[in-house]
Amino acid sequence: MQKKPILILQSTSVAQPGAILSVLRRLGIPWHIVSAADRHQPPACIRDWSGLVLLGGALSANDDTPWVNAVLHLTRQALAADVPVMGHCLGAQLLSKAAGAVVTKSPYTEIGWHELSVVDASRSAEWFGVQSGPFSVFQWHSEQFSLPNEAHLLLSSEACAHQAYVLADTHIAMQFHLEITPEMIMAFIKNSGHRIAEELGRGNAFIHTEEQIMAGVPQHIPAMQTMVSVLYARWARSLQY
């Protein structure tokens, strides 16, 4: 019997699946990507998909656009049907809004390598392979999500209290970019690097310079690749084949 693929929704050309695809390949999980950059719209029904991955992007979950509204509609279908949803950054905000939470502007924009604290050791070990902190991940966001009802908070940071949660032991939202690759980081900087200078000009302490970001790549990327492998292996246990 052929496995149903997971659906990956890509909201911008820059925020790509990155490290996710090699993990899916190793796990033997088929996938299909629908990208707003190609002027495509998400499918209308979740029935043909075993799971749903929502990537990042320079949009807001509060934007009243055909793409955002279609993503929210499909995500609500997935939640109702117990089809597992994975949200990365903007994707986490979309998942949160679909689950009844609120997305608002963050007190601080975070860009660069920032430390996370573990809130729930057992669940963090199960989903990320880490049960103690702090540890650093790549951040690039200016909005945040509240917690949906019955969500379990896993990770937090000084600048953003809600960094990751799991819902119904099936769906997971992350404010950070575990999927990032060195090539994607360079694309982020090329596309939106002006925000670094703007935020540094405001005295934002949670912004790294381009030099600091690139210097952190060899130090942090290997650990993040290990975490994304653990994450997707755990998430895949709930796929609806």
pTM: 0.96
Closest CA to 164 of 192, 126, 199, 195: 126
Confidence at residue 216, expressed as pLDDT on a 0 to 100 scale: 96
Residue 1 has pLDDT above 80, yes or no: no
- Residue 133's pLDDT band (cuts 50, 70, 90): confident
Instruction: Summarize pLDDT for 8-24 with one digit per residue, the tens.
Output: 999 999 999 999 999 99
**Residues of the chain above pLDDT 70, percent:** 100
Report the C-alpha gap between 203 and 48 in whole angstroms.
48
Report the C-alpha gap between 26 and 241 in whole angstroms.
17
What integer best gives the mean pLDDT of the chain?
96
- Residue 132's pLDDT band (cuts 50, 70, 90): confident
Report the C-alpha gap between 150 and 67 in whole angstroms.
27
| Cα 209 from chain centroid (whole Å) | 22
Q: 3-state DSSP call for residue 34?
A: strand
Beta-ladder partners of 144: 104
Query: Do the Cβ atoms of 55 and 17 come closer than 8 Å?
Result: yes
Per-residue pLDDT averaged across 22-41, rounded?
A: 94
- Residue 187's pLDDT band (cuts 50, 70, 90): very high
Report the C-alpha gap between 87 and 94 in whole angstroms.
7
Confidence at residue 102, expressed as pLDDT on a 0 to 100 scale: 98
- Residue 229's pLDDT band (cuts 50, 70, 90): very high
Instruction: Summarize pLDDT for 205-215 with one digit per residue, the tens.
Output: 999 999 999 99
Instruction: Summarize pLDDT for 152-178 with one digit per residue, the tens.
Output: 999 999 999 999 999 999 999 999 999
Confidence at residue 27, expressed as pLDDT on a 0 to 100 scale: 97
